[in-house]
């Protein structure tokens, strides 16, 4: 029989159990539950099972819970029917039940906002298969129409126009405001793993010739514009986190930056735009990045 240890944590782990404050968010400890897609939301609406799932984590002492990715209100943001969305009265009512359950259990919770871009291609689906499985109005949008799983292949979907970019940024801002109204304590922007914002970051998938493509600073502009719009929507004291990664789904050796200076060139504009903290996603946590 396993008997839990009553020994105090080692000194190196002690900060994990101390309080942490960022903006209006005060946490009892620094243990954060990372987002994990559950696909438990038929029609994109989180129901009682989702509320109970997150409340159980809060009751067991997690300092901050970050939800699975929730699709913003744009027809190109997500194709899977059981992935939650964060737009529409039914979905927002469901998320309100989630935040109330987590708060009643003593926890804090952030909503992860996402747009998948061409990410479905990384899971082995062809554009034709996605068309057959996708809701009406779904359209493949990305910075340059480059399939992340086959960068040398012909373009797929449609390269985003200026109008597309503006409408997606607006959808992020609406989602941020609605997340706050639904009772979330913070938001996290999913800019990792080859999703849309990451597709703008990465030179392999961003071959644009306009102000959103080119050097590292230009490729960061779309993400910074999203952050800036969300910051305007939620106010100055509401925490905004951003998740980023070197690796991509199906491309574990991919690199967003090859040096600390290059990484600073990516992250600096995001901080200036309003990011309060970064969620750094890594696979080989035992190896230094540089």
Higher per-residue confidence, 89 vs 7: 89
Q: What angle do CA 144, 141, 95 make, to 5 degrees?
A: 135
pLDDT band at 269 (very low <50, low <70, confident <90, very high): very high
Task: Give backbone dihedrals phi and psi of 99, rounded to 5 degrees, phi first.
Answer: -65, -35
**Average pLDDT score, the chain:** 91
Q: Taking a C-beta distance cutoff of 8 angstroms, is the pair 67, 114 a contact?
A: no
Give the pLDDT confidence score for residue 83 in this predicted structure.
92
Active-site position among 54, 172, 195, 212: 195
Does residue 251 surpass a pLDDT of 60? yes
Does residue 136 surpass a pLDDT of 70? no
CA distance 232 to 114: 18
Give the pLDDT confidence score for residue 147 in this predicted structure.
79
Higher per-residue confidence, 123 vs 116: 116
Give the pLDDT confidence score for residue 1 in this predicted structure.
45
CA distance 228 to 185: 18
Give the pLDDT confidence score for residue 199 in this predicted structure.
94
Higher per-residue confidence, 272 vs 156: 272
Higher per-residue confidence, 122 vs 44: 44
Q: Which residues contact 283 (CB under 8 A, 6 or more apart)?
A: 247, 252
Q: What is the mean pLDDT of residues 196-224?
A: 96
Nearest C-alpha neighbor of 241 from the set 50, 65, 79, 117: 65
Question: Residue 152 in 3-state DSSP?
Answer: coil
- Sheet containing 109-114, strands listed edge to edge, beginning at the edge strand earlier in sequence: 32-33, 64-71, 109-114, 186-193, 240-248, 277-281
3-class SS letters over 43-98 = HHCCCHHHHHHHHHHHHCCCCEEEEEEEECCCCCCCCCCCCCECCCHHHHHHHHHH
Give the pLDDT confidence score for residue 287 in this predicted structure.
87
pLDDT (tens digit per residue) in 16-33: 999 999 999 999 999 999
- To which H or E segment does residue 260 belong? helix 260-273
Give the pLDDT confidence score for residue 11 in this predicted structure.
73
pLDDT (tens digit per residue) in 148-177: 777 777 778 789 999 999 999 999 999 999
Query: Can you give the C-alpha Rg of the chain in angstroms?
Result: 19
Query: If you search the block for the tokens 């209100």, which residue do you land on?
Result: 73
* Domains, the chain, with CATH or none: 26-281 (3.20.20.70)
In sequence order, the β-bridge partners of residue 98 are none
CA distance 200 to 189: 14
CA distance 154 to 172: 29
Q: What is the mean pLDDT of residues 231-258?
A: 91
Give the pLDDT confidence score for residue 125 in this predicted structure.
63
pLDDT band at 278 (very low <50, low <70, confident <90, very high): very high
- 46, 124, 149, 142: CA torsion to nearest 10: -40
Q: What is the mean pLDDT of residues 229-241?
A: 98
Q: Taking a C-beta distance cutoff of 8 angstroms, is the pair 98, 50 a contact?
A: yes
Based on the residue annotation, tell me whether 54 is a catalytic residue of this protein: no
Does residue 10 surpass a pLDDT of 80? no
Nearest C-alpha neighbor of 83 from the set 117, 42, 138: 42
pLDDT band at 245 (very low <50, low <70, confident <90, very high): very high
In sequence order, the β-bridge partners of residue 40 are none
pTM of the shown model: 0.92
Q: Give percent above pLDDT 70 in the chain.
A: 90
């Amino acid at each position: 029989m396993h008997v839990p240890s009553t020994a105090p944590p080692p000194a190196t782990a002690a900060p994990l159990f101390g309080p942490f404050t960022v903006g209006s968010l005060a946490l009892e400890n620094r243990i954060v539950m990372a987002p994990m897609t559950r696909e438990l939301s038929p029609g994109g609406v989180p129901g009682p099972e989702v509320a109970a799932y997150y409340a159980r984590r809060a009751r067991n002492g997690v300092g901050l819970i970050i939800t699975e990715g929730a699709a913003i209100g744009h027809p190109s943001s997500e194709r899977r029917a059981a992935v939650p969305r964060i737009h529409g009265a039914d979905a927002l009512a469901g998320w309100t039940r989630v935040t109330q359950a987590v708060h009643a259990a003593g926890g804090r919770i952030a909503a992860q906002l996402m747009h998948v871009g061409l990410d479905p291609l990384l899971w082995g689906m062809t554009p034709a298969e996605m068309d057959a499985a996708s809701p009406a109005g779904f359209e493949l949008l990305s910075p340059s129409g480059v399939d992340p799983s086959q960068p040398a292949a012909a373009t797929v979907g449609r390269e985003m126009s200026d109008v597309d970019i503006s409408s997606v940024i607006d959808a992020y801002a609406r989602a941020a405001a609605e997340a706050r109204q639904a009772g979330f304590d913070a938001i996290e922007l999913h800019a990792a793993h080859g999703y849309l914002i990451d597709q703008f970051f990465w030179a392999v998938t961003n071959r644009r010739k306009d102000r959103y493509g080119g050097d590292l600073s230009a490729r960061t502009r779309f993400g910074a514009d999203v952050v800036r719009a969300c910051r305007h929507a939620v106010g100055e004291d509401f925490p905004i986190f951003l998740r980023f990664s070197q690796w991509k789904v199906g491309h574990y050796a991919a690199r967003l930056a090859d040096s600390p200076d290059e990484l600073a060139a990516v992250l600096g504009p995001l901080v200036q735009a309003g990011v309060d903290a970064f969620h750094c996603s890594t696979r080989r946590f035992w190896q230094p990045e540089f």
